[in-house]
Amino acid sequence: MLLAAATLLSGCKALVQMTDRDISLAIAERQRAALDYGAPIPLNETDRPEPLPDKAAYIRNPSPSSTRLPSGFEPSAAPVTAPPTDSMPASQPNDARTLAASRPRRYRDRVFTLTDAITYSLQHRRAYQSAKEDLYLSALALTLERHLWTPQFAAELRTVYGNFGEIRKFDQAMRFVSDLSVSQRLPYGGDFTARAVNTLIRDVKQTITASETGQIQFDLRIPFLRGAGHVSHEALIQLERDLTYAVRDFERFRRQQVVQIARQYFDLLRSKQEVIDAEDSVERAAVDFDRAAAIEDAAPIDAAVTAPLDTRRAQQRLLSEESRAATLRETFRFATDQFKLLIGMPVDDMLGIEDFEDIESIERRIVSGAAPLLGRPEAAGDERRSLAVATQYRLDLLTRRDQIDDAKRGVSIARNDLLPNFDWNSSLTFDTDPLHFNSGAFETNRATWRSEVVLSMNDRFAERNRYRSSLIDVRRSERNYIDTLEQVRVDVRRAVNQLRLQDRVLKIQIENVSVAEFRAEFAREQFNNGDLGNRDVVEAEDELIRAQNSLNRAKTSSWSALLDFRLATETLRFDDSGGRGDHPGNEG
């Protein structure tokens, strides 16, 4: 029993591996066709699927998209790397030690960069794993339908024991029946079946053969009206197109995830900088308070008119800054937990302020070209050109356009269902002579051929309603396409305008910080010289803090606006590590 159980379990595991391999090939094949890039397949080179035949281009790739970006839109962008298909379904449990080793407990030796966050989310984010499984299930349904269009073999062996009791003096008989068949769907409707049946009857008591017969039968069914032609392939055609849609949806989801993670990561950096600036402000406020208190203590009693007021003002500022710093630190902690939930990291894992990048370090990497996702495209401000690129590249828009064809094809199918049934059924049977105990001795003079033509027409009320519904579906799909097209236009126009706005805001905030720094430095110098009270110093410091926070917000908003622009125009390209490199398909 243990051996049988082990054999069964090993067989189930092998079946799962075979299924995953088939799905991996199907998805990689469709990614190359629908997204126009060579998806890496974690299999041997000899296991790569053959290129798609030209006749299947419409079925499998209705509206091919391209990763070739026009000049001005990331000419050095790399193609989107396909997810490792051998890891699907992603919900399979991982080894606890392997998973724990992959989690960042504490980035003491290096910071947790945006690239690290993207890479981590591609491995651990639960919503991403669910999206991978949706793609897997789409391919799984297609592989079944493809299999049904291949020869279907079936075999059955039966052994029947009969004991007739006292009526026949305890006659006992054994009957052995083998039933082998193969069936094949025909290209334009109908099916063909070949079947071989052998029967052997043995008298157990007398140990003699009572009967031995054989039969071979060929059946053919061909429709001429209803169910004939391309409508017979509708299930296969739709599943092929559904896989293309699923590939696009998954790729669109990946790009949206990158933008979402980047936007929240930038918010964390801004929150981190606010905490640092608040702590620096606390230190300066403490110095000002100590100085004001010292001045108050050193001043003569009769001359100390404003000194107590300055001291209390400095004390109030110190208390206010301490409260603000504590609030900002808690805000950062909560934002870090929310970020962990977003990328799929356990909230118990430690990530503190020092573990994240600085805004200045990202700026340096942008200038040096080490942050390619944040490189500004040359044509980012050209609204007309951006709209043209978006209407050509947006994956969701391509799907809406192809769904119009699906609806029109549904009209043809519904119209075909209104036709009467007009089928030709034919069968050819070869039997053996029952008087000769030989299941392989078929005789042509015992062959039987039957052929019939059947014309039938029943009530078509339901089919009539489906036909009318299919016409409505066409108009509805056209409206959905127009709605999506207009939404794409809105997204692009908003993205372009946001880029322009953030550029202007960033320039203003840079100048604002410069003015605030001069004001704070001058006020402090005058305060140290005894020419001003600390009121001007407090106001100047507060304005400087607000200006620095506004500048940091402008920087991160500018980066987020850039990623939103790339997402709106579908010109965001990245690999599984969150970066990109040169690609020969994007040189123009």
The separation between CA 156 and the C-alpha centre of its own chain, rounded to angstroms, equals: 43
Q: Determine the pLDDT at residue 444.
A: 75
| Residue 179, helix vs strand vs coil | strand
Q: What is the mean pLDDT of residues 104-117?
A: 71
Q: Name the most confidently modeled range: 27-31, 105-109, 423-427.
A: 423-427
Q: Would you say residue 82 has pLDDT above 60?
A: no
Q: What is the pLDDT of residue 299?
A: 67
Least confident of 328-342, 370-384, 458-472: 370-384
Task: Report d(CA 537, CA 400) in Å as an integer.
Answer: 60
Q: What is the largest CA-CA distance in the chain?
A: 140
Output the DSSP codes for 479-518. HHHHHHHHHHHHHHHHHHHHHHHHHHHHHHHHHHHHHHHH
Question: Could you tell me if residue 318 is inside a domain?
Answer: no
Q: Is residue 287 part of a domain?
A: no
Residue 179 lies in a domain: yes
Residue 24 has pLDDT above 80, yes or no: yes
* pLDDT tens-digit map of 477-510: 999 999 999 999 999 999 999 999 999 999 999 9
Global pTM value: 0.80
pLDDT for res 416: 94
Q: Tell whether the model's pLDDT for residue 4 goes beyond 50.
A: yes
Average confidence (pLDDT) over 127-155: 93
Q: Which residue has the higher pLDDT, 205 or 217?
A: 217
Q: What would the two tokens of residue 156 be?
A: 């059955």
Q: Indicate the pLDDT class of residue 415, thresholds 50, 70 and 90.
A: very high
Q: Give the pLDDT score at 58.
A: 43
Spatial neighbors of 351 by CB under 8 A, at least 6 apart, are 104, 106, 107, 112, 336, 339, 340, 345
Q: With respect to residue 174, please indicate whether it lies within any of the assigned structural domains.
A: yes
Q: Residue 65 has what pLDDT? A: 60
Confidence band, pLDDT 50/70/90 cuts, at residue 556: very high
Number of domains in the chain: 1
Mean pLDDT across 210-218: 84
- Mean pLDDT for the chain? 81
Q: Is 48 part of any domain? A: no
What pLDDT shows up at residue 104?
52
Contacts of 102 (CB under 8 A, 6+ apart): 123, 124
Supply angle C-alpha 25, 29, 33, rounded to 5: 170
pLDDT at 67: 55
Percent of the chain at pLDDT above 70?
A: 78
**Which of 77-86, 143-152, 512-521 has the lowest average pLDDT?**
77-86
Domain limits at 171? 151-185+190-224+423-456
What pLDDT score does 57 carry? 46
- pLDDT tens profile 162-213: 776 555 555 677 888 899 999 999 989 999 999 999 888 877 666 667 677 8
Select from 259, 251, 28 the least CA-distant residue to 131: 251
Between the CA of residue 489 and those of 392, 420, 547, what are the distances in Å? 12, 47, 34
How far from the centroid of its chain's Cα atoms is residue 403's Cα?
A: 20
Mean pLDDT for the stretch of residues 446-453: 90
pLDDT number for residue 77: 36
Residue 180 lies in a domain: yes
The lowest-confidence range among 276-280, 374-378, 568-572 is: 374-378
Q: Could you give the strand order of the β-sheet that contains 152-163, starting from the edge strand earlier in sequence?
A: 152-163, 172-185, 191-203, 208-223, 421-431, 448-456
Mean pLDDT for 395-423 is 94
Share of the chain above pLDDT 90, in %: 45
Query: Per-residue confidence at 89, pLDDT binned at 50, 70, 90?
Result: very low
User: Confidence class of residue 39 from pLDDT cuts 50, 70 and 90?
Assistant: very low
- For residue 74, pLDDT over 60 is answered with no
Tell me, what's the pLDDT at 439?
A: 67
Q: Is residue 581 part of a domain?
A: no
Kindly tell me if the per-residue pLDDT of 148 is higher than 90. Answer: yes
pLDDT confidence of residue 6? 61
Residue 426: closest CA among 186, 249, 230, 247 = 186
The listed range with the strongest mean pLDDT (64-78, 150-164, 251-265, 376-390) is 251-265
Residue 236: pLDDT over 60: yes
Is the residue at 336 inside a domain?
A: no
Of 172-186, 261-275, 299-313, 447-461, where does mean pLDDT reach its minimum?
A: 299-313
Amino acid at 68: R
